Amino acid sequence: MTAPATPLAQHAAPRMRTTFLELEITGKCQLDCSHCYAHFGPAGDHGAMTIDDWRSVIGQAADMGVLEVQFIGGEPTLHPDFPALLDCAIDHGLKVQVFSNLVAVREPLWERLRCPAVSLATSYYSDRADQHAHVTGRRAAHARTRANIARAVKLGIPLKVGIIDIFDGQRVEQARRELEALGVRHIHIDRQRGVGRATTVTGVGPTVDELCGRCGIGRAAIGPQGEVWMCVLSRFLPPAGNVRTTPLRTIVEGEAMTTLPAQVPRRPDATACKPNSDGSDCSPAETTACNPAY
């Protein structure tokens, strides 16, 4: 008689070539968002990964067939080496998404962002500054982000915006209409996910039920200390390895990247999942790894 399958075997993730990497290059951010997936903010730092570490990761990623990377944080543009790392990814022939709060974009960076290989993603919470500040902790952020959204559209830079429904009375639909009026074409609305700082608000700890169901399948994330996760939202689970001590290919093709995804429930529509549009400031629903049809 054949032994019944274990829960792990039932949900074992298929091995799939990693084509998308989230590069979380810093934990520093100007904002202090109530739902941040990683407790990042003004007190954050850039971690132990050096510019040479990140360049090595980008080169390894290109060599192993990764097609796209996403620079994320924190606020990736606050990293002093961000322009050099952006150029490094472009020079390796990778598509690049920059996930920024768009609070402060230095003037020389705009020309780099106009590169055909680059796109932008950001978060927006309301058409009212007070409600946006209620989430971000910074009242001035609303006007700055709005102005830079408008500038990105004017410059023709591909842009995706996530609106997260966080509190009662939040003007989510009005925010969507405002973004449409600004010319934004890729907008997604979703609920707050119970990971990171959001757990201190909800009082419920992070669970795998908050994940989209495609974690670690064709994608991986690397944090400021070099840890490798299935995605940035799954950081409450053990890392699969650390790129400061182990080659990236060894990690993503290793046993951990098979057993870790097996802990995440596979949803019937996981091939076209629509979890948090910005993942509490990440964008699993709007990357080619999570939604190939996007």
- Give the three-class secondary structure for 240: coil
Tokens, residue 45: 């730092």
DSSP of 223-247: -TTSEEESSGGGTTSPPSEETTTS-
Residue owning tokens 């023709």 = 156
pTM for this entry: 0.85
| Backbone φ and ψ of 186, nearest 5° | -110, 100
pLDDT of amino acid 15:
61
- Give the three-class secondary structure for 242: strand
Residue owning tokens 């091939």 = 271
The answer for 137, left when phi > 0, alpha when psi is -120 to 50, beta otherwise, is left
Helix (H) or strand (E) holding 91: helix 82-91
pLDDT of amino acid 268:
59
Helix (H) or strand (E) holding 96: strand 95-99
Residue owning tokens 């500040």 = 133
Residue owning tokens 């915006």 = 161
pLDDT of amino acid 40:
85
pLDDT of amino acid 232:
86
Q: Which residues of the chain carry a pLDDT beneath 70?
A: 1-15, 194, 196-205, 267-294
Distance CA 267, CA 173 (A): 27
Residues 6+ apart with CB under 8 A from 290: 212, 214, 219, 273, 275, 284
Distance CA 63, CA 66 (A): 7
Closest-CA residue to 92 (of 66, 124, 112)? 66
Count of C-beta atoms within a 10 Å radius of residue 114: 12
pLDDT of amino acid 48:
97
Radius of gyration of the chain (CA): 18
Closest-CA residue to 99 (of 129, 127, 71)? 71
pLDDT of amino acid 22:
96
Question: How many angstroms separate the most distant Cα atoms in the chain?
Answer: 68
Residue owning tokens 């997604």 = 188
- Rounded to the nearest 10°, the torsion over CA 156, 157, 163, 169 is -40
- Please, are residues 73 and 27 in contact by the beta-carbon 8 Å criterion? yes
- Please, are residues 129 and 143 in contact by the beta-carbon 8 Å criterion? yes
